[in-house]
Chain A
């Protein structure tokens, strides 16, 4: 082995180790930042090693690509709003998938145009190229749709039509057939120097795989987005692994596998938090039959609601011993995190114990709400998980539900007919008092009514969350 190739391979090994160490450190808040830097150093090392170790003949495309990519990526990372984090991660997943798919495409073209220096394409190389293309293209187009849904460009509703799964299965079988055809045909076609039909089939594979990515994501509704973003994260890793198989490059295989595993774990956690199987998220029809049968025919109106004003809430909170705050995505939409923290700090200075309870699916991606609260300077050791507070929730004097709905819906515990049934919730209905801040009685993301709003110990404070919290804060200060 040539010395500089050897050095490059060893540098790749160091990169892979740095990625593993980095991910390990990401598992604790105190070391996470260092872990991320470690992984970034690993990446830089891999890039430098490639530029030194490979036979680079033309530099202008590389330099241009690196510059454009760095400026665009850096700009997005610097200025993205924390609420928009899920769609940006979704978009980045898509770019990763695209890059991996293009690597496979270039390798295919190298063979088909005779640049590879061999007329024979080994079957394993061919299979790797087809898989790399498939996973990369599905990740790319699926991520673009997920981005569009989260950004509000594409409808957040589940898009469904007759025979949807049958058509998807048909498309998938068609893709497998094309892949098989290409794998069998590629060596012979190149030897015969007529690559046009084969090439058309290869481009058709790209088109069909992109279409599959779109069709797989459009039937998934807004409430299930955390699962989809996690799953696409996993795909982007698998796409990188596939590109590694194509290039016979271990650092790609290892890094891709690490990301693939991490995405799968997060996907599983999200599914568990919603008490649903992955198949149910992808193929299920969530929220479609909901609502009607749930409330057993009774039509609830404002008259059934105990609606209160800010001063009532201020009184309740200021003289409570224990307060539990349940933030939901609506809090972030109203940009009320900072006001909320001010209120909680004030309560704490009065000797009230305040806990924030974050449901795993509170935001639009795993851990999203934690980031939004961190942005508002809420220390992470004040954040709790539902199972931490549920056992003692009956002793809590006041629960403050801000912009959350489905994650506090008692139907998930009591109503086997409900679509939410079995999903772990924060059982605020068992607390002494619960204040729900909401714009109106509209149903939540899952489109279901919530019995909690009509309970006797529930107070409803209607209005914009930021305004309401501001008014409560003023009232508390005067007490």
Chain B
């Protein structure tokens, strides 16, 4: 067990570094889309929520699972869609007329 958690900690720390490296270069213009887009990615908990909602272990789990699926889906669908809606508004000067 301790071995598994240790590997998980490794993965977490390394992923944080990847995150810092990849994201430091984002220009201020894109900070809001970055935030809403990354926010959508944090809806990855949906993976866990689906398992709970689908494991058929009684009404309590069904309800917890479904609420979690709803919350995560709003996060995911809303997050990606609104990011796309914002990004399609960004354009360069050369596009004018």
Contact = CB atoms under 8 A, between A and B. Distances in A.
| Chain B interface main SS type | helix
B32 A371 contact: yes
B19 A47 contact: no
B66 A61 contact: yes
A392 interface: no
B48 A247 contact: yes
Contact of A27 (B22, B65, B81): B22
Interface string B22-44: 11111111111111111111111
Nearest to A236: B42
Given A69-B73, A73-B78, 17 more contacts: A22-B41, A35-B37, A36-B84, A47-B47, A69-B76, A73-B79, A85-B32, A93-B42, A96-B72, A102-B52, A124-B4, A245-B5, A252-B44, A253-B8, A366-B31, A368-B32, A370-B32
| Chain A interface main SS type | helix
Contacts of B53: 58, 61-62, 65
B23 A233 contact: no
A57 B88 CA distance: 40
Interface string A249-261: 1111111111111
B5 A32 contact: no
A381 B77 contact: no
Nearest to B89: A374
B3 to A, nearest CB: 10
Interface string A354-394: 00001010010111101100110101111101000000000
Interface of B: 1-2, 4-5, 8, 11-13, 15-20, 22-58, 60-93, 95-96
Nearest to A100: B45
Contact of A366 (B28, B61, B74, B86): B28
Given A100-B45, A370-B28, A57 B54 contact: yes
Contacts of A259: 19, 38-39, 41-42
Given A69-B74, A76-B74, A109 B45 contact: no
Nearest to A265: B23
A116 B88 CA distance: 47
Contact of A70 (B1, B34, B73, B93): B73
Contact of A65 (B18, B30, B35, B65): B65
Given A20-B18, A233-B35, A358 B92 contact: no
B23 A261 contact: yes
B60 to A, nearest CB: 7
A78 interface: yes
Interface in A64-95: 64-66, 68-70, 72-74, 76-78, 80, 82, 85, 88-89, 92-93, 95
A424 interface: no
A370 B29 contact: yes
Contacts of A73: 73-79, 81
Contacts of B70: 65, 68-69, 72
Contacts of B24: 265
A263 interface: yes
Contacts of B80: 36, 39-40, 43
A252 B11 CA distance: 10
Contact of A371 (B63, B66, B73, B86): B86
Nearest 7 CB-CB pairings of A with B: A69-B73, A261-B19, A65-B69, A367-B31, A73-B78, A257-B15, A57-B56
A72 B74 contact: yes
B8 A248 contact: yes
Given A50-B50, A103-B52, A80 B82 contact: yes
A56 interface: yes
Contact of A229 (B33, B35, B83): B35
B22 A92 contact: no
Contacts of B12: 241, 244-245, 253-254, 256-257
Contacts of A257: 11-13, 15-16, 18-19
A365 B30 CA distance: 11
Nearest to A59: B54
A50 B65 CA distance: 14
Contacts of B74: 69, 72-73, 76, 92, 95
B1 A99 contact: no
A33 interface: yes
Contacts of A266: 31, 34-35
Of A35, A69, A74, most buried by chain B (CB within 10 Å of CB) is A69
Contact of A379 (B66, B85, B95): B95
